[in-house]
């Protein structure tokens, strides 16, 4: 009896994993390509390998629209009572797309369907920061120089605004 339960649990777990993978593959194949301009690219290296912290130019506009308090960026911020806890929020914005597919902030999503040159983009507020999908991009050790040229993050975007980070591009829109 125990082995039947264990096998059923394994089958259920594998089914969930496969369903998740299928959803990601579908988004990669059919999602709309959208570029979000990077505000800051910081290469880092730790025990995980080489990666970049990504910051996006859309974030300050979303922060202003949500009326979020400024966050302290000092390393001493956790020791001061001036830093207020920011609520964890998720939502979507409506972004306009130019001819190159670069997203610019238009408004917070109010349920109105986006126009032909607009797209929904899902965001999260975590620790007072606006995040779009992945805020880190991992790359092979020793290739940081190449990725320092990054000016845009490339996403595949589902109609509901769900984002999947697929790569980085330089100022000429060439994939890195």
Note whether residue 38 is domain-resident.
yes
Residue 76 banded pLDDT, cuts 50, 70, 90: very low
Domain range for 8: 1-30
* The pTM of the whole model exceeds 0.75: no
Contacts of residue 43, Cβ cutoff 8 Å, sequence gap at least 6: 50, 51, 52, 144, 147, 148
Same domain flag for 6 and 51: no
Q: Which residue has the tokens 């120089």?
A: 145
Note whether residue 89 is domain-resident.
yes
Same domain flag for 23 and 76: no
Same domain flag for 13 and 96: no
Q: What is the pLDDT of residues 89-146, one digit of tens each?
A: 789 999 999 999 999 999 999 999 999 899 999 999 887 788 888 777 777 777 777 8
Same domain flag for 23 and 84: no
Same domain flag for 19 and 73: no
SS3 label, residue 22 = helix
Same domain flag for 23 and 36: no
Give the C-alpha separation, 135 to 157, whole Å. Answer: 16
Q: Which residues of 18-29 are buried (b: 16+ CB within 10 A; e: fewer)?
A: eeeeeeeeebee
Same domain flag for 98 and 40: yes
The full DSSP string for 97-130 is E-TT-BEEEEEE--SPPP-TTEEEEEEEEETTEE
Q: What share of the chain is helix, strand, coil (3-state, %, to 5)?
A: 25, 40, 35
The pLDDT of residue 51 is 73
Checking if the pLDDT of 87 tops 80, the result is: no
Residue with the larger pLDDT of the pair 144 and 31: 31
The pLDDT of residue 70 is 62
The pLDDT of residue 90 is 87
Q: What is the pLDDT of residues 40-72, one digit of tens each?
A: 666 565 555 677 778 888 988 998 888 876 655
- Among residues 84, 106, 88, the alpha carbon closest in space to that of 97 is found at 106
Contacts of residue 108, Cβ cutoff 8 Å, sequence gap at least 6: 62, 65, 66, 91, 92, 93, 94
């Amino acid at each position: 009896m125990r082995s039947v339960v264990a096998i059923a649990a394994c089958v259920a777990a594998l089914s969930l994993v496969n369903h998740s993978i299928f959803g990601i593959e579908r988004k990669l194949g059919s999602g709309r390509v959208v570029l979000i301009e990077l505000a800051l690219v910081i290469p880092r290296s730790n025990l995980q390998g080489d990666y970049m912290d990504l910051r996006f130019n859309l974030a300050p506009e979303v922060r202003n629209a949500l009326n979020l308090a400024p966050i302290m960026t000092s390393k001493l911020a956790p020791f001061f009572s001036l830093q207020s806890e920011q609520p964890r929020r998720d939502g979507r914005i409506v972004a306009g797309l130019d001819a190159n597919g670069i997203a610019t902030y238009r408004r917070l999503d109010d349920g109105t369907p986006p126009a032909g040159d607009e797209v929904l983009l899902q965001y999260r507020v975590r620790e007072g920061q606006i995040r779009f999908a992945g805020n880190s991009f991992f790359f092979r050790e020793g290739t940081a120089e190449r990725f320092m040229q990054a000016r845009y993050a490339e996403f595949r975007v589902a109609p509901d605004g769900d984002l999947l980070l697929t790569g980085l591009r330089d100022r000429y829109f060439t994939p890195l």
